[in-house]
Structure 1
Amino acid sequence: MVRAICLFVLAILVGHSSCQDDEFLYDTFPEGFMWGSATSAYQIEGAWDQDGKGESIWDRFVHDDVPHIVDGSTGDVACDSYNLYQEDVALLKNLGVSFYRFSLSWSRLIPSGDLRHGFNQAGIDYYNNLINELLANGIQPAVTLYHWDLPQGLQEHGGWLNVSVTDRFAEYSDFAFLFFGDRVKTWFTINEPWVQAVQGHGFGDFAPGINQSGILDYQAGHNLILAHARAWHIYDGKYRPTQGGRIGFNMYTSFLEPKTDNPDDVFAAERAMQFLIGWFGHPVYSQDGDYPAVMKEFVAFHSAEEGFPESRLPQFTPEEIAYVKGTYDFFGLNHYTTMLAENGLFPYAPSYIRDGEIIPSFNESWPESAAIWLRVVPWGFRKVLNWVSNEYNGVPIFVTENGYADSPDQIDDVDRVNYYTSYINEMLKAIKLDGVNVIGYTAWSLIDNFEWTAGYTERFGLYHVDFNDPLRPRTPKSSAAFYKQVIADNGFPAPPPKL
C-alpha cells in the first residue's frame, strides 16, 4: 500500500473549490459481490529472521545505518502474525468476510530468492497452515505473490534493474502455484508496481532506496511488467486447467481532477492518469498494448531535450507487446485519494515528475487524514472506477485496497467509519448508476501494522494492535463493527419509512 506518494506530496498547493457531492444511495450490491480485508507479509508477520527465512530488501532497509523510518521502528516483530495467524483468522471470521487478501514473503519461502539455491520448508508449512485455517473458517485465501519485499540476495544482483529477476519471479510464481494453488483460487502477481518503481528506484524513500528518477524507475517498471506477464502465462498455461483459479495485476490508482477548466489543465489531468495508471495498465489491459502514447511522447521529448541519445523509457519489442497484452483476468485496483492536476514543469531533470509536466495539489477544503498524502475525496473513487472501466473496455474491477489513516490508539475511529461509508457508497453508485463491473471490495487493513516509512505513527486497521505489549493484543475498532454490518447487509438497504 502506498504510504508516501512522492509524486503527489512534493508540491502540496491550494486548489480551487470543487463540489462533487450528491445524495447518498440506498441500495445493495449485486448478488455474489465479494467482501474482504487485506494485509501484507512484511507489515504484519514479524519473525524476520526465524525458521530459515532469508533477508528481504525491507529487512535491510529498516536496519540501515541511515534512518529511513520516521519513528525508528522496524517490521522485525510487527503484529507477530507469524505466530498469531489464528487470531487474525478469527478476526476475519467475526467480520463475515468472504476472502482475505494477504501476501507471501518470497524470502520466507525461497531464502535467497533463487530457487536453484533451495527452498524453506518452514515457510511452506506456515502458509499451508494459514490457508487451511482460512478455509476451515469459510474464508477464501486471495494471495499476492509480491508486495515489495524482494529477497536481498536478488537485490545484490541488481534486483528489479536486472532483467534476470523476471526469470527468478517466474520460478517463484511456479513454486507458489504448485504448493498452494490447489486451495488458492485468486492470485495477484505484483502489488502496486508504481510504488516499487518510483519510490524504490526513483525517489529512494522506499526499499531498496535507489534515487535515480526518470531513469531507473522506468527500468524497474519495465521488468515488473515483464515479470507479471511471466507469472500470468505460467498460471494460465500450466495450472489454470486443473486449478481453475484467476490471476491479475494490482494497480495504485488515484484520481486526478483538473485544477481549473483551462484546457491545459484538463490535458494535464488526463496525462497524469496515463503516467500513473496507464504506465502499468496500458501494456496489460489496452487493446493495442505498449506504454501509453502520451507517456512515450513526453518522455522521448524530455530525453532529447536533456541530450540523451534515446528515450529514457525502455521499449517493448513487438514480441514482448504481444506477450504482455491481455495477461489479466481482472483489474486489481487500490485507491485511497484524489489530487488536482495543473499543467507545469517540475524544476529537476531528468525526473518522472518533470516528464509528465504535471503539478499536483490538494484542495484545502478536502478533509485530512493522519497521512499527508491522503485526503478524503469520496467522489474521486467513483470517477477512477469509471475511468478504468472506460479506458480498458469494461474490465472486471476488483477493489483490492481502500482505507483511511488515523493516529495511534483511536478505537472509536469515527473518521474511518465516515470514510468507509462515503467511499463504499461511491463504489455502489459506480456499479448501480454507471454500470461499472466491480466484483469485490477489500478494506485496508485488517489490523494496524508497520506502515512502511511511517512506522507505527499511522494506523489503517479495523482492529487496533497494541505494539507496546509483547502479546500484541487485537481490539476491534468502531470501523470493524461498521464494516461487519455493511457485509451482512451487502451494502446500504433503504431505511424504514418514517411513520
Structure 2
Amino acid sequence: PAAARHGAWENPRTALAFAEYARLCFRDLGRHVKFWITMGEPYTRNMTYSAGHNLLKAHALAWRVYDEKFRGSQKGKISIALQADWIEPACPFSPKDKEVAERVLEFDIGWLAEPIFGSGDYPRVMRDWLDRRNNFLLPYFTEEEKKLIRGSFDFLAVSHYTTILVDWEKEDPVKYNDYLEVQEMTDITWLNSPGQVAVVPWGLRKVLNWLKLKYGDLPMYIIANGIDDDPLAAQDRLRVYYMQNYVNEALKAYILDGINLCGYFAYSFHDRSAPKFGLYHYAANQFEPKPSMKHYRKIIDNNGFPGPETLGRFCPEEFTLCSECSFFHTRKSLLAFIGFLLFAFIISLSLIFYYSKKGRRSYK
C-alpha cells in the first residue's frame, strides 16, 4: 500500500527500496534459503514500459547486493522468474505467421529476458516495432545500467502453463491484438481446462528450446507448471493427464534436446493459495491429497515414469489404460500408408470408370 501511494513500479525510487528490502531478507533468512527468486512471473501484458524498466533495475540491484555481500558466506543462487507460455504460428509454413509469433514471444518473454540473459538491452524486434508505430515510450538504459542488469542471474527460471496459436490475419475481433497486429486463437482439437486454458504439452519443450537458442546453454528451472480443474470432477483426471504429459515433455527436452534442465515444480501445492490449481484440496481447515498428488508422488518416488510392464497410451477422455489407443498410436505410419493406398485405389477406379464410359460414348 505504501509503495502504491508513491507510484509503485512507475516510481524509479521503488527499485532502491526493493534492493534494501532484499538486503534485509538476505541478512535475516539467508542462513536457511539457498534458492532466491527476486520477481515471480511479472505479467508483461499488463505492465507499462516504465514499470518494466524499473522492475529490471530493481532485480539487478538485488542480485548485485547478494552477489557482493552475501554469496560468499551463504553460497546461494538467485535469479528472476519469467512467465514463458509458447506462441505457435497457426501455419508453420507461413513466413508472416512465423514473424508475428516471434514478435509476441519477444514482447511476452524477451522484454525482460533480453536485458538480463542477452545483450543488456531490450530486444531489437521490440524497439523496431514500437518505432514503426511512433511509440517512443520504451525507455533507454544508460551504459552503466546495461552493465548492472546484464548477467544478473545464476539460472533461468520460467513458469509455463499453455500454448497460444497466432495468425497475421484478423479473423476474430475479440481475440485480435491491435497493438501487435496479431490474431490469437486456439486449436479446436486441443483439450481445455474449465478456465479455457489449452493443454498443449509439446509447447513446453518448444519454449525451452527457444530460450536455449536465444540465451545459450543456461541452467533452467521450471518453477510453475499446472492447470485448473473442476473441483467436482471425479478422479482429478485432467490434472493427472496434464502433469503426466508436461513432465514427459520436460524429460524429452532434457534427454533428447540437451536442455540443462535442473528442476521442475508443479503448480500449485494446495487450493487455498491457488483455487482449482492445487494438488491438495482444502476444506474445514484440513488438506486432503487429490489423485493428481498421488500420481505426482509416484513419479517422484520412482524417479521417473512407471516401468515397461505398465506402459501404454492414456485416453484423455477416460484416462484409463487403453489398448486400442496404444494400437493406433504405435502404428501411425503404417495406418497413414494404408490410408494413402486406399485413397490411390479409389482414385484409380474412378479414373478407369470415367475413361471407360467416355470411350463407349465415343464409339457410339
Does residue 251 of the first structure (1) align with residue 75 of the second (2)?
A: no
Counterpart-to-counterpart distance in 2, 1:191 and 1:337? 17
Counterpart-to-counterpart distance in 2, 1:353 and 1:189? 30
**Corresponding residue to 1:188 among 37, 43, 46:** 37
**Corresponding residue to 2:288 among 475, 478, 481:** 475
Distance apart, 1:355 and its partner CA: 3.9
Corresponding residue of 2:187: 363
Q: Contact (CA 8 Å) 1:341, 1:358: kept in 2 or not? A: yes
Counterpart-to-counterpart distance in 1, 2:220 and 2:310? 34
Does residue 242 of the first structure (1) align with residue 59 of the second (2)?
A: no
Distance apart, 1:449 and its partner CA: 2.8
Does residue 495 of the first structure (1) align with residue 308 of the second (2)?
A: yes
Counterpart-to-counterpart distance in 2, 1:328 and 1:345? 39
Does residue 283 of the first structure (1) align with residue 107 of the second (2)?
A: no
Q: Contact (CA 8 Å) 1:189, 1:231: kept in 2 or not? A: yes
Q: RMSD between aligned alpha carbons?
A: 2.1
Q: Could you tell me which amino acid in structure 2 is paired with residue 174 of structure 1?
A: R
Q: Could you tell me which amino acid in structure 2 is paired with residue 253 of structure 1?
A: A
Distance apart, 1:164 and its partner CA: 0.5
Does residue 329 of the first structure (1) align with residue 154 of the second (2)?
A: yes
Q: Contact (CA 8 Å) 1:300, 1:312: kept in 2 or not? A: no
Distance apart, 1:491 and its partner CA: 1.4
CA deviations 1:442-489 (Å, max 9, x no partner) are 0100001354xxxx4xx01110012xx3xx211110011111111111
Counterpart-to-counterpart distance in 2, 1:246 and 1:326? 13
Counterpart-to-counterpart distance in 1, 2:305 and 2:172? 47
Q: Contact (CA 8 Å) 1:464, 1:474: kept in 2 or not? A: yes
Q: Contact (CA 8 Å) 1:449, 1:460: kept in 2 or not? A: no
Question: Helix, strand or coil: the match of 1:240?
Answer: helix
240 and 411 in structure 1: CA distance in 2 versus 1, 3 angstrom threshold: farther
Aligned-pair identity in percent equals 39
Corresponding residue of 1:320: 145
Counterpart-to-counterpart distance in 2, 1:327 and 1:252? 18
Question: Helix, strand or coil: the match of 2:192?
Answer: coil
Q: Contact (CA 8 Å) 1:446, 1:462: kept in 2 or not? A: yes
Any residues of structure 2 matched to 1:254-273 within 5 Å, and which? 254-260=85-91, 261-273=93-105
Corresponding residue of 2:356: none
Distance apart, 1:246 and its partner CA: 0.2
Distance apart, 1:354 and its partner CA: 3.7
Q: Could you tell me which amino acid in structure 2 is paired with residue 254 of structure 1?
A: D
Corresponding residue of 2:214: 391
Q: Using CA pairs below 8 Å that are at least 6 residues apart, which structure has the higher relative contact order?
A: 1
Any residues of structure 2 matched to 1:95-244 within 5 Å, and which? 152-193=1-42, 195=43, 197-199=44-46, 201=47, 217-244=48-75
Which structure 1 residue ranges, 4+ long, deviate > 3 Å from structure 2? 344-348, 352-355
Distance apart, 1:395 and its partner CA: 1.1
Counterpart-to-counterpart distance in 2, 1:445 and 1:327? 27
Corresponding residue of 2:277: 460
Distance apart, 1:183 and its partner CA: 1.2
Counterpart-to-counterpart distance in 1, 2:202 and 2:273? 29
Corresponding residue of 1:430: 253
Q: Could you tell me which amino acid in structure 2 is paired with residue 474 of structure 1?
A: F
Counterpart-to-counterpart distance in 2, 1:218 and 1:345? 26
Q: Could you tell me which amino acid in structure 1 is paired with residue 51 of structure 2?
A: A
Q: Please give the TM-score of this superposition, normalised by the length of structure 2.
A: 0.81
Distance apart, 1:409 and its partner CA: 4.0
Q: Contact (CA 8 Å) 2:177, 2:184: kept in 1 or not? A: no
Q: Contact (CA 8 Å) 1:346, 1:358: kept in 2 or not? A: no
Q: Could you tell me which amino acid in structure 2 is paired with residue 279 of structure 1?
A: W
Counterpart-to-counterpart distance in 2, 1:415 and 1:423? 12
Distance apart, 1:490 and its partner CA: 1.4
Relative to its length, the structure with more helix (as a share) is: 2
CA deviations 1:99-151 (Å, max 9, x no partner) are xxxxxxxxxxxxxxxxxxxxxxxxxxxxxxxxxxxxxxxxxxxxxxxxxxxxx
Distance apart, 1:344 and its partner CA: 5.0
Counterpart-to-counterpart distance in 1, 2:268 and 2:184? 27
Counterpart-to-counterpart distance in 2, 1:186 and 1:272? 30
Question: Helix, strand or coil: the match of 1:387?
Answer: helix
Q: Contact (CA 8 Å) 2:120, 2:149: kept in 1 or not? A: yes
Q: Contact (CA 8 Å) 1:344, 1:359: kept in 2 or not? A: yes
Counterpart-to-counterpart distance in 2, 1:249 and 1:497? 39
Question: Helix, strand or coil: the match of 1:188?
Answer: strand
Question: Helix, strand or coil: the match of 2:85?
Answer: strand
Gaps (5+ residues) in structure 1? 1-151, 202-216, 305-310
Q: Contact (CA 8 Å) 1:298, 1:355: kept in 2 or not? A: no
Counterpart-to-counterpart distance in 1, 2:214 and 2:307? 33
Distance apart, 1:493 and its partner CA: 5.0
Distance apart, 1:357 and its partner CA: 2.5
Distance apart, 1:380 and its partner CA: 0.6
Distance apart, 1:353 and its partner CA: 4.5
Any residues of structure 2 matched to 1:401-420 within 5 Å, and which? 401-410=224-233, 412-420=235-243
Q: Contact (CA 8 Å) 1:411, 1:477: kept in 2 or not? A: no
Question: Helix, strand or coil: the match of 2:88?
Answer: strand
Q: Contact (CA 8 Å) 1:303, 1:312: kept in 2 or not? A: no
Q: Contact (CA 8 Å) 2:236, 2:291: kept in 1 or not? A: yes
Gaps (5+ residues) in structure 2? 312-364
